[in-house]
């Protein structure tokens, strides 16, 4: 059978994924809502909604606005907290033969470290993804992931706290994304994932109020894809560690574009809202493309763009 | 029973300006929706509009079903252009729906404007129990579903802002008068409509200590409870309209 | 007449514009091609394609790619050069009762200064717009406008070279756009305009080659609007000088959104490709909106978003 | 005579798989297009696809006009769904068109695949001068416009890659043979088709010192010469396909 001869497996740190398609944090909940639509065993990995030590209420509504070929969200990192996740969600997720990557964040470096320790002590957490696109309480709420020095320090500290595969999720709201990837690599990250959302804003011209209660929010979806592909390509030239590419992936072609730009794996975010089974369509589509083009291993596509 | 399915347009009838009744024929077996459930409807296959649109179940016709919608923007205006035979991708039924194990004998339904879309479904289901229906609208021709209501034997109390049909004024005030004069105590309210109406209703319910449920709207991305985009503030914290709602106990909602 | 009572005039430095709608550089040529479709007298201002001292050939094709609700371009700053512009294009443009803003750039600070001097000596050039989103030959082709120190130096030097209204056009590919606006203000800019394009990339998965010969290009159009509105709002809070907002404006509503965010005027770029008469529709639409809402002066809308 | 106009779809006929003949009725007075001119067609009012699509004039029918197009991607696939009565926003006619003050007695037209779209317009105009038409296609049913050509009294020489119609093989080789055996010297070529065909033709033209004009394609944003997006490399520098082109002297083009 043709299917058999095609190798979709990829490695991210210590993880071996059966295929390169994962879910993007915050767009797949804790996986359970999607089990009705797809076989969770078929995913490369499941990345869950970002968790913090304590549950977080999130921002007041409205939290989302549609924009041309994209959307803005300002969920405010609402989550059930790490303890609840471990107790209530992880047992369900552990049933599947799919790595669970836990996205997490904190208000301070100390919180990041404690979160990483706690998650690393839990069975069934396959890898950690640090979201550094969040406000740093200690530094007047500026964003951790936009200052290379802060990024370096926080990744170094978290690295000491975990022996799980550590993925650093980069913010695209920076002048030099390749620098941020290098900083993460040097500080001990096993992989980087990008892009998180681009900061955006929308205003209701009738009420003259921002359409999001939080004023600004994160732009995601097909609109941002060209920026995301560019950033993945820049990072691929800058670092040795694997890259997980995301930002507007809604088709197999989109996923392949990221892989050609240098991504070892990809994540589907906003696409899950368009169709809850989109990840499976993308996996199948990548396989068909490889069959048609006679490509044996997905790794042959990685970074294969000819510039 | 797939909750992600396709349906073909059987009819897309314009009722009045900007208001359409869309009859859909699912191409797969679907779960029968409860009143208060909604569907996320993809208006086309493109990337703009990107997200599906939430629309309530209006009427279940033994397999076929109807949505009643108003052209409010980009997505619903594309929907307004659909012709018989066009195929739509749809997710649902979604949400909790109205609670149906009601003990109260006095069922009061309140629909403001297009709030009749989901309230009709409830009225049809509860019609044997003689619910009273209060319909508010801006003007006479925006009082919708009058024929359909007659079909199911319900004669609504109507109020319009300009008095062109029924009483003149606010439907909540009309309801208030009704409750005052009826002297019945175990009323239960079910309502859907614009926020100002629901707020007024909630004040009324609190004052008169009425039990009630209201269907809310909020911008949605997933419709499945995963994006956390559609929350409303309640006495129990933020709750998702798509999952814990769209129907909430009226006393739970914390208005701005 | 209702029309009369509505004041659309705005001030940018020494310029008084009859309305806040101008064209964005590079999307309106030198104005002549559009005279067939619209009355150029009706525009707030015409901003011409970016000029350099010598004519520039630009990049090899393909130079443009469509993306979801947007487009990437890598024209490579092709232009006829300042001399040809003055000789061949300016006489035509001078006929109209509309300020001509000349967008310009150089390979080095010295080139910027010479270009500014030359343009300032020309009758009919109402204002200068410096495009600093271009590569700096002296600094290994890194972008002038992403380093605050370089931006400060170049604006200071150009400021000395011209007494025309000087607009600095900011690159959005930075961590802190408000900082860049402040730097431009401190160095003597009369106004800032933003956003220039976001750097993006697209790959043809069949040929495995970038879809643009230049590999990367600039993303524009409705896709970027939320990012642009956010940046205008951030700059409005940071500087006193007027802001010219742009990025994805294709409707009167879009234009008003930028003005509410803090823009004194707006520019329409990619929108001109969608409909050559779009600027006029936008001007008329702004006027109708103000009539309907009972707003007397466009300045009452400026920065009026309620956060 | 507005070059930005609206037209209603009179007919949108599928010829073969993915190939359509679209008949449009302008709602305003438009400029009569020359062969080689093109239109920028907005496939809908949405923001995705964002840009208009360039399509050549195929046939001018005294006010109505026809476009012949292939579904190549997102935009043309939306176009394929258009029904009579639908309204399209269009810009044009654009571009320089084929030069028409031709002295040569021996007019040779070459169309590769959908290259027949603009070449037909030229053939119709020049038909009194007995042009020879060479049509290449992949296979028999992709040889288009055979009936239309008969109508205007032109009998094309056909070649298909698989030999299912006409000669087997490359149309440029067939043309080469023809020129060799015809012993005529003042041939003039007009061609449109895929890049490999045009390249081969340009080699042939150089070798045999033939004069000729070819219509090129390039991605376009404005269609008006302002964005500088659509250039091709020529002996005189970068030239805009939408403005200096789409028709260029064959010897001017610098192929990669
Ligand atoms: C549970 C639920 C049930 C609904 N039932 C009905 C119904 O039966 N009939 C009906 O006409 N309308 C109903 N609505 C409202 C309907 O979803 C909106 O009118 C519609 O989404 C507007 O989309 P648009 O593209 O036309 O407008 P746009 O303003 O262009 O939409 C932009 C974005 O905002 C969202 N949005 C705009 N208005 C609303 C709104 N009121 N509620 C939620 N999202 C909104 C859109 O979904 C889209 O994501 C319901 C909404 C919810 C949440
Ligand atoms: C002067 C000119 C005349 C043309 N005449 C015809 C004709 O008569 N019949 C016909 O079928 N096609 C013609 N084409 C090609 C036609 O423009 C493309 O097939 C069409 O734009 C594809 O759009 P799409 O959205 O379906 O494809 P997509 O691949 O989704 O388009 C993506 C983007 O690339 C552009 N693009 C893709 N292919 C081409 C191409 N070959 N040329 C230019 N832009 C392209 C699109 O316009 C769009 O901006 C002509 C092109 C030019 C430049
Ligand atoms: C509703 C929503 C919630 C998100 N929540 C998180 C989160 O908790 N942690 C995180 O690292 N990224 C979060 N993201 C960012 C996504 O994981 C992803 O990086 C981004 O959306 C780009 O991918 P996309 O265009 O495919 O959505 C969220 C995105 C959306 C749309
Ligand atoms: C084809 C094209 C060419 C451009 N050329 C220039 C230029 O020469 N100088 C400049 O400062 N900006 C240039 N820009 C950027 C625009 O002026 C504008 O800042 C940007 O496109 C965002 O606006 P929009 O989304 O309305 O297009 C160009 C943009 C496009 C699309
Ligand atoms: S719409 Fe996503 S959680 Fe409700
Ligand atoms: S398409 Fe814009 S210059 Fe040709």
Pair D78, D111 in one domain: no
Whole-prediction pTM:
0.97
CB neighbour class for D255 (10 Å; exposed up to 12, middle 13-18, buried from 19): exposed
pLDDT one-digit tens code per residue, A44-82: 999 999 999 999 999 999 999 999 999 999 999 999 999
pLDDT for A105? 96
pLDDT one-digit tens code per residue, A249-289: 999 999 999 999 999 999 999 999 999 999 999 999 999 99
Q: How many Cα atoms sit within 13 Å of C185 on the Cβ side? A: 15
pLDDT band at residue B225 under the 50/70/90 scheme: very high
Pair D15, D138 in one domain: no
Rounded Cα distance between A124 and A145, Å, is 27
Choose one of D51, D67, D93: the last residue of a domain: D93
Rounded Cα distance between B95 and A241, Å, is 43
**C223 Cβ neighbours under 8 A, 6+ residues apart:** A68, A69, A70, A222, A223, A224, C67, C68, C69, C70, C248
Closest among C170, C166, C129, C167 to C146, alpha carbons compared? C170
Q: Is residue B102 part of a domain?
A: no
Rounded Cα distance between A247 and A269, Å, is 7
Choose one of B66, B93, B120: the last residue of a domain: B93
In chain C the domains, ranked by start, together with CATH numbers, are 3-300 (3.20.20.70)
* Cβ pair C78:D3 closer than 8 A: no
Pair B10, B127 in one domain: no
**What positions of C carry a catalytic annotation?**
134
Choose one of B31, B66, B93: the last residue of a domain: B93
pLDDT for A1? 44
Query: Can you read off the two tokens belonging to residue A217?
Result: 């929010």
> What are D64's strand-pairing partners?
D61, D62
Q: Supply angle C-alpha A72, A29, B230, rounded to 5.
A: 45
Rounded Cα distance between C126 and A105, Å, is 51
Pair D122, D190 in one domain: yes
pLDDT at A3 over 70: no
Closest among A196, A202, A150, A201 to A173, alpha carbons compared? A196
Rounded Cα distance between C276 and B122, Å, is 51
Q: Is residue B167 part of a domain?
A: yes
Query: Can you read off the two tokens belonging to residue B77?
Result: 């205006």
- Looking up tokens 């900007």, which residue turns up? B18
Rounded Cα distance between C16 and C165, Å, is 11
Q: Is residue D242 part of a domain?
A: yes
- Across D53-73, average pLDDT: 97
pLDDT band at residue A4 under the 50/70/90 scheme: low
**D112 Cβ neighbours under 8 A, 6+ residues apart:** D135, D136, D137, D171, D191, D192, D193, D194, D197, D198
pLDDT for C4? 59
pLDDT one-digit tens code per residue, B130-176: 999 999 999 999 999 989 999 999 999 999 999 999 999 999 999 99
Rounded Cα distance between A270 and A257, Å, is 17
Question: First CA to last CA across chain A, in angstroms?
Answer: 35
Query: Can you read off the two tokens belonging to residue A206?
Result: 């009738």
Pair B83, B14 in one domain: yes
Can you tell me the ipTM of this complex?
Answer: 0.97
* Cβ pair A78:B91 closer than 8 A: no
The Å distance, Cα D115 to ligand 6 centre, comes to 21
Ligand 1 contact via A66 beta carbon (within 6 Å)? yes
Q: Supply angle C-alpha A271, A274, A275, rounded to 5.
A: 90
pLDDT for C54? 97
Ligand 2 contact via D68 beta carbon (within 6 Å)? yes
Q: Per-residue b/e over D220-231, b at no fewer than 16 CB within 10 Å?
A: bbbbbbbbbbbb
Tell me if D242 sits within 8 A of D3, measured CB to CB.
no
Tell me if A273 sits within 8 A of A248, measured CB to CB.
no
Pair B216, B115 in one domain: yes
Q: B44 contacts in C (CB within 8 Å)? A: none
Give the DSSP H/E element, type plus range, for residue C178.
helix C177-186
Q: Is residue B137 part of a domain?
A: yes
Range of the domain at B72: 4-93
Pair D124, D245 in one domain: yes
| pLDDT above 70 coverage of chain A, percent | 98
Q: Is residue D99 part of a domain?
A: no
Q: Phi/psi zone of residue C302: left (φ > 0), alpha (ψ -120 to 50 degrees), beta? A: beta
- Across B180-190, average pLDDT: 86
Pair D210, D143 in one domain: yes
**Which of B172-176, B182-186, D47-51 reaches the highest mean pLDDT?**
D47-51
Q: Is residue B219 part of a domain?
A: yes
Q: D80 contacts in B (CB within 8 Å)? A: none
Pair D157, D220 in one domain: yes
- pLDDT, mean over chain A: 96
Ligand 4 contact via C162 beta carbon (within 6 Å)? no
- Specify the CATH number for the domain of residue B156: 3.40.50.80
Q: Is residue D98 part of a domain?
A: no
- Measured from CB, residues less than 6 Å from any atom of ligand 6 are D 220-223, 225-230, 240, 242-243
- Looking up tokens 């470096």, which residue turns up? A109
Query: What total of structural domains would you count in chain D?
Result: 2
Q: Is residue B161 part of a domain?
A: yes
A and D: number of Cβ contacts within 8 A: 5
- Looking up tokens 């729906």, which residue turns up? B97
pLDDT at D247 over 80: yes
Tell me if C198 sits within 8 A of C205, measured CB to CB.
no
pLDDT at D232 over 70: yes
Pair D139, D227 in one domain: yes
pLDDT for A138? 76
Rounded Cα distance between B210 and B186, Å, is 8
Pair B153, B201 in one domain: yes
- Across D168-173, average pLDDT: 94
Mind spelling out the 3-state secondary structure of C87-138?
HHHHHHHHCCCCCEEEEECCCCHHHHHHHHHHHHCCCCCCEEEEECCCEEHH
Closest among B223, B199, B248 to B38, alpha carbons compared? B223
The Å distance, Cα C104 to ligand 5 centre, comes to 47
- Those residues of chain C that have pLDDT short of 70 are 1-4
Closest among C158, C175, C223, C168 to C197, alpha carbons compared? C223
- Specify the CATH number for the domain of residue B24: 2.40.30.10
- Across D45-71, average pLDDT: 96
Pair D80, D131 in one domain: no
Determine the residue among C60, C171, C223 to mutate to test chain A binding: the one whose Cβ has the most chain A Cβ atoms within 10 Å: C223
Q: D52 contacts in C (CB within 8 Å)? A: 273-274
| pLDDT above 90 coverage of chain D, percent | 90
């Amino acid at each position: 059978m043709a299917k058999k001869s095609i190798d979709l497996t990829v490695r991210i740190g210590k993880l071996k994924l059966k295929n390169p398609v994962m879910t993007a944090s915050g767009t797949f909940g804790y996986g359970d809502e999607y089990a009705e639509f797809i076989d969770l065993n078929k995913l490369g990995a499941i990345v869950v909604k970002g968790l913090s030590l304590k549950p977080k209420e999130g921002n007041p509504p409205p939290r989302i606005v549609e924009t041309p070929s994209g959307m803005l969200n300002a969920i405010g990192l609402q989550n059930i907290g790490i303890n609840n996740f471990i107790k209530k969600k992880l047992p369900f997720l552990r049933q599947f033969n799919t790595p669970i990557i836990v996205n997490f964040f904190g208000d301070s470096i100390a919180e990041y470290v404690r979160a990483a320790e706690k998650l690393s002590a839990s069975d069934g957490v396959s890898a950690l993804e640090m979201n550094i696109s969040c406000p740093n309480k200690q530094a007047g709420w500026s964003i951790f992931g936009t200052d290379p020095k802060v990024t370096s320090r926080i990744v170094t500290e978290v690295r000491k706290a975990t022996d799980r595969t550590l993925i650093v999720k980069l913010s695209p709201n920076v002048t030099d994304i390749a620098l941020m990837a290098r900083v993460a690599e040097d500080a001990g990250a096993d992989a980087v994932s990008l892009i998180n959302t681009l900061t955006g804003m929308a205003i209701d011209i009738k009420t003259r109020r921002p359409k999001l209660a939080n004023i600004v929010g994160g732009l995601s979806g097909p609109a941002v894809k060209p920026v995301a592909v560019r950033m993945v390509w820049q990072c691929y030239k800058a670092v040795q560690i694997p890259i997980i590419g995301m930002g507007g992936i809604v088709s197999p072609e989109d996923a392949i574009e990221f892989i050609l730009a240098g991504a070892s794996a990809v994540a589907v975010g906003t696409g899950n809202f368009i169709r809850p089974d989109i990840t499976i369509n993308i996996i199948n589509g990548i396989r068909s493309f490889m069959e048609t083009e006679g490509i044996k291993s997905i790794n042959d596509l990685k970074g294969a763009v000819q510039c | 029973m797939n909750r992600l399915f396709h349906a073909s347009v059987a009819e897309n009838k314009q009722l009045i300006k900007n208001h359409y009744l869309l009859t859909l024929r699912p191409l797969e077996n679907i779960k029968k929706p409860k009143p208060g459930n909604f569907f996320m409807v993809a208006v086309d296959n493109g990337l703009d509009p990107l997200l599906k649109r939430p629309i309530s179940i209006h009427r279940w016709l033994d397999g076929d079903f109807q949505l009643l919608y108003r052209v409010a923007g980009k997505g619903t205006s594309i929907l307004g252009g659909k012709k018989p035979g066009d195929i739509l991708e749809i997710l649902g039924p979604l949400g909790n729906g109205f609670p149906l194990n009601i003990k109260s004998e006095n069922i009061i339904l309140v629909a403001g404007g297009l709030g009749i879309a989901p309230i009709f479904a409830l009225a049809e289901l509860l019609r044997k129990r003689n619910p009273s229906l209060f319909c508010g609208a801006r003007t006479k021709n925006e009082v919708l579903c009058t024929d359909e209501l007659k079909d199911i034997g319900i004669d609504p109390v109507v109020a319009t802002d300009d008095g062109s049909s029924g009483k003149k004024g606010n439907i909540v005030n009309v309801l208030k008068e009704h409750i005052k004069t009826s002297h019945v105590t175990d009323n239960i309210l079910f309502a859907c409509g614009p926020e100002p109406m629901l707020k007024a209703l909630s004040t009324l319910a609190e004052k008169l200590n009425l039990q009630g449920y209201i269907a809310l709207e909020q911008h949605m991305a997933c419709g499945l409870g995963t994006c956390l985009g559609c929350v409303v503030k309640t006495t129990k914290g933020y709750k998702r309209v798509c999952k814990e709602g769209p129907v909430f106990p009226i006393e739970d909602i914390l208005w701005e």
